[in-house]
Chain A
Amino acid sequence: MTDYQSIYLALSAILFAIGVLGVIVRKDAIVVFLCIEIMLGAVNLAFVTFARANQSAEGLFMVMCIMAVAGAEAAVGLAIFVLLYRKTGTINIDKFNLLKY
């Protein structure tokens, strides 16, 4: 494993940590969503790095799938947020806790 690969992996880990932190602490639904996207990006970076290191296309294929899913997810998610905003006038996720016992 060469040096640049460990740099990429470190970057991936840092991005992932930022994403996790954002998901946990931020209250704005869109920001939380962005943080999820950051986590996905971090994972994609790790995949690409490993694909390069192992000289195989499997990691790249995985990345393609994740990007497709992320795109679909963004479309559905943003639509939900728009509707929520129209209904309630806010997208603070602490206001949405009705799905419980």
Chain B
Amino acid sequence: MFDLVWLIPSFPLAGVLINGLLGRTIEERNKSLVHWIACGAVGLSFLVTLGIFLQLLELPAEKRLYDFTWFTWISAGEFSASIGYLIDPLSMFYCMFVTGVGFLIHVYSIGYMWHDEEGYYRYFAYLNLFMFSMINLVLADNFLLMFLGWEGVGVCSYLLIAYWFSDLANAVAGKKAFITNRVGDFFFAIGLLLMVTYLGEHGVWSLKFTDVFANASLMSPNLITLICLLFFLGCTAKSAQIPLYIWLPDAMAGPTPVSALIHAATMVTAGIYFVARCNILYSMSPLAMGVVAVVGALTALLAATIALTQNDIKRVLAYSTVSQLGYMFLGLGVGAFAAGIFHVLTHSFFKALLFMCSGCVIHAMSGEQDMRNMGGLRQKMPITFYTMLIGTLAIAGFPGFSGFFSKDEILWKVFSSGPGASFLWPIAILTAALTAFYMFRLIFMTFFNECRASEEVQHHIHEAPRSMTAPLVILAFLSIFGGVIGIPASLGGNNLVEHFLDPVMGLGAGKLLQSASGTSMVQGSAHAVALHSVELEHTLMIITTGIVFLGILVAYTMYMRNRSLPDTFAAKSPSTYRMLLNKWYVDELYEKTVINPLHSISVFFWKGIDVVVIDGLVNGTAAFFMKCGVVSRAAQSGYVQRYAVSFLVGVFALIAYYMYVR
């Protein structure tokens, strides 16, 4: 079964080729065949993944590593890179939810995109291309193939954000996402090249994860810190963290299923995957870990504060995604790699669910996204309401739901992480309260009270078709019970996730690599196991729960009981309100500090250097010879006798030369 791993990326690739090359013909003949091909491809990938996953579970924990080399990709001297896939707990864990959630969103897209005028096949071809890239990203056994997937998902993200490209705003949003990602990828590539060349000089000409990690000790601590920070910059772009998070809220211009799949559930967690994959490198650099944790915490708080005042339903969800990704990085940064990855899983369930519900709402409201024009949808679309409520409870960390366990795990690990806990933990807990508040604000504004939409829109409000609600129900189920696999020991569970991922994380990774490659391993992993105090953990849980309830209560008071309160607050401190509404003016700040100077420099190079110097040089040369021609053409008069005279003069000159000079 392990040797069939190449099938997982192959199915979506086949889907891309069929729909991409023949899509127009297929769509004209039989439109539903397009989605059968696309969904079938991802569904088959999911089945293969499931098979491999189950087989992996049967193996003893220390043997769960299998490297499948498909074929050699690049071979140059000693250096070679291959298309190879790594089967280990981390990659299979990711692959499971990437293909699983991806499949559900493919199904949901059928209902959402069916009425779109044209390019049904184009949409599904892009979506399949995304699946192909994402699977390559998480399954790759070397940095280069992973980077291929990394860039591939970026391209697909661009294509899908700008899917309705005839609207300029969408095209601009796509461009912004792509360019922001490019900035991060640039640093990522520098980090990669730095690492490869350094290891190459020391005799390890390989990009394989196993080889690189096994020889990580060849690099000096400072170099590792530098490489980790460069990698992390790449991750901040892909996973929307400070300073490169600005593209994600704008990415909501794409179709809602795309927001759900790419910009919430899977692609944006690629950065988390990468840091977790390289946990050996990060563990060797306390500074890099600290940066990851602090950036994660700050992003979580910043995005949560912005989400408080946004009125666009998808924007609120987008900022909550940024905020939750911050949580994940916070978890990774304090060394709780498994907790971070666990949150990725639960987040992919409930965030995909929330986005798809918002898609149903937007669909029903005839494209309206402003929550101020919604309300009262509870009776009209019950399935959407209940599933979205479940998703909201999950993201808010309501006890018993999946988000509670994963978030609580991170909070606990942050609290017990020692240095930094004194300010990271309060930030995290404050963010949890804000999350509960703005998510319930969304629910109350959308589903409760009277409907504020126009009569005509109200008339059209209807529950979404079956192909859209079925994925909602499945994801709602997973949002409730998905946390079961990670119930911590203190609550009577046995934290299956952590034990499952243990072989690839921290100290466990050393053992696994040792058994696989036989080389000596990095000694001493950075994060020490904190003292586990059950009482303390319970107390923290109660505090968290209390804070979540507080957030919900405030939202209830402000948006259900006394609905003039928000306006009162806004009027009382208009500067704060405007600050939040305008997203802390970060976009404007970047505009001023980065984009405008860059623009000026570009204009200078264009009008100053290119037009004047380079064009001047070329055109000047041409003009010079033109002038020469104008002057010298007087010699060619067309009169034969003048030629004869010059001939004669020449002859005399030659004769004189030979007679007198020689």
Contact = CB atoms under 8 A, between A and B. Distances in A.
A23 B647 CA distance: 12
A100 B648 contact: no
Contacts of B641: 23-25, 32, 93
Interface in B636-653: 636-641, 644-645, 648
A99 B638 CA distance: 5
B659 to A, nearest CB: 15
A74 B641 CA distance: 18
Contact of B645 (A24, A96, A100): A24
Interface string A7-36: 000000000000010011100000010000
Contacts of B633: 100-101
B641 to A, nearest CB: 6
A98 B636 CA distance: 10
Interface in B614-644: 633, 636-641, 644
Contacts of A23: 641, 644
Interface residues of A, number: 13
A99 B642 CA distance: 13
A73 to B, nearest CB: 15
A18 B648 CA distance: 13
Contacts of A25: 641
Interface string A89-100: 000011011111
Contacts of B648: 20, 24
Contacts of A20: 648
A25 B648 CA distance: 13
Nearest to A25: B641
Contacts of B637: 97, 100
A62 B638 CA distance: 32
B631 to A, nearest CB: 12
Nearest to B651: A20
B644 A24 contact: yes
A27 B648 CA distance: 18
B362 to A, nearest CB: 73
A100 B636 contact: yes
Nearest to A23: B644
Contact of B638 (A24, A32, A98): A98
A93 B639 contact: yes
A32 B642 CA distance: 13
13 contacts: A23-B641, A24-B644, A32-B641, A93-B639, A93-B641, A96-B638, A96-B640, A97-B637, A97-B638, A100-B636, A100-B637, A101-B633, A101-B636
Interface of B: 633, 636-641, 644-645, 648
